Amino acid sequence: MKKYFLTSFLILFLNFPIINGFDLNPAYALSGKVNPVGTNLIVEIAKKQNPAVVFVTSKTKFQPAKGNTPPNRNPFGQFGPYGRPGHPQPPAPGGGSGTGFIIDKEGYILTNHHVVDNADVIKITLDNEKEFEAELIGSDSKTDIALLKIVKQTGDNTEFPYLALGNSSDVEVGEWVVAIGNPFGLDHTVTTGVVSAKARNIGAGPYDEYIQTDASINPGNSGGPLLNMSGDVIGINTAIFSRTGGNVGIGFTIPINMASDILEELKKDGRVTRGWLGVMIQKITPELAETFKLSDSNGALVNDVVPNGPAAMGGLKRGDVIVKFNGKEIVSVENLPKHVASVEPGKSVQVEIVRDGSKKSLDVTIAKMKEEKQA
């Protein structure tokens, strides 16, 4: 009799010169320095960057009724299977913990949305064990990114150590990375590994484009930095793939460019405004490509159109295949929501479709996405 195992993604709620005869091309672009093997580079990165990594704790006013247990929150989380003998106990109900990192001398901090979601009180602890309260400046649940700021007393002119944000577009599979965080409350733990893959879609949200790494990350690493060999942040550690709740060498990191793109908006408005097209879409399989007379499986198939929405007003219909949006090719169905979201509401864009085997171009005015809307 076959046994079926359920494997799940755990959203982290706590809250080369020559190698083996291969000549590495020195002109090949990487996000950081090439090879730390045989050097003290990782030691230098840990010493220099650790002071800018913080321990984040959050508390809520909610307390479960006596006799009730809090909900099971696995992913890097507050209430996972960590209370068994030999495992650290979970934090007290009504609170969570994770990691964050300072991004400027004023004390702005990036972390995960789920680390501070619904928190009434947020505190951060520095590498030197100094503790501060932090204010939630802005948060975005769709990308799981939150921006905090350290609250300083009047007259306090402290300048904080901070990390430089790198360019995650330059990241290459196989390059070395360093993760710093607070797994299971063990503060400022440093682990190393490589980039295992890029642009992973794990079904966690509409804009999934994770960097995959084998650097060890565990419950408590949520919101911590993934660094390249220049010590720059290339991602925010967010999720693991695990059957046990612990690290198995498959971790997922939000590309730092995704945070950089919304940083100023979070500072200014506390939230992110996105464009909305008003369609439900699905992947094009080889069978569907043949049915709709397509030359390949690129594009996004429209399987429903919201009445009176932007797409409907622009002339899109059920069965249309969107192959280009605002001048950008739609290679896969995952591309479209990201492109739509990046368009300023009220702007008119060209949408190229295939309908009944023929290409057609439509002008569509993008609307503002409401929180409950999906695409």
CA 326/CA 348 separation, integer angstroms: 9
Q: Which one from 58, 140, 144, 339 is the annotated catalytic residue? A: 144
At 223, the amino acid letter reads G
Radius of gyration, alpha carbons of the chain: 23
Of 77, 316, 33, which Cα lies nearest the Cα of 219? Answer: 77
With a CB cutoff of 8 Å and minimum separation 6, the contacts of 39 are none
CA 194/CA 228 separation, integer angstroms: 9
CA 240/CA 251 separation, integer angstroms: 4
For the question of residue 196 being annotated catalytic, the response is no
Of 224, 268, 267, which Cα lies nearest the Cα of 102? Answer: 224
Cα–Cα distances in angstroms (integers) from residue 261 to residues 167, 188, 206, in the given order: 11, 27, 16
Contact 52, 163 (CB under 8 A): yes
Contacts for 186-194 with beta carbons within 8 Å, 24 or more apart? 186/220, 187/55, 187/125, 188/50, 188/53, 188/127, 189/221, 190/42, 190/46, 190/50, 191/215, 191/216, 191/217, 192/36, 192/42, 193/249
CA 300/CA 308 separation, integer angstroms: 20
Of 14, 301, 30, 342, which Cα lies nearest the Cα of 183? Answer: 14
Q: Which two tokens stand for residue 34?
A: 């090439």
Q: Which one from 58, 139, 216, 222 is the annotated catalytic residue? A: 222
- Residue located via tokens 């964050």: 100
For the question of residue 117 being annotated catalytic, the response is no
* DSSP H or E segment with residue 349: strand 348-355
For residue 266, the SS3 value is helix
Q: How many other CB atoms are there within 10 angstroms of residue 152's CB atom?
A: 14
For the question of residue 144 being annotated catalytic, the response is yes
Q: Which one from 31, 58, 114, 188 is the annotated catalytic residue? A: 114
Enumerate the active-site residues: 114, 144, 222
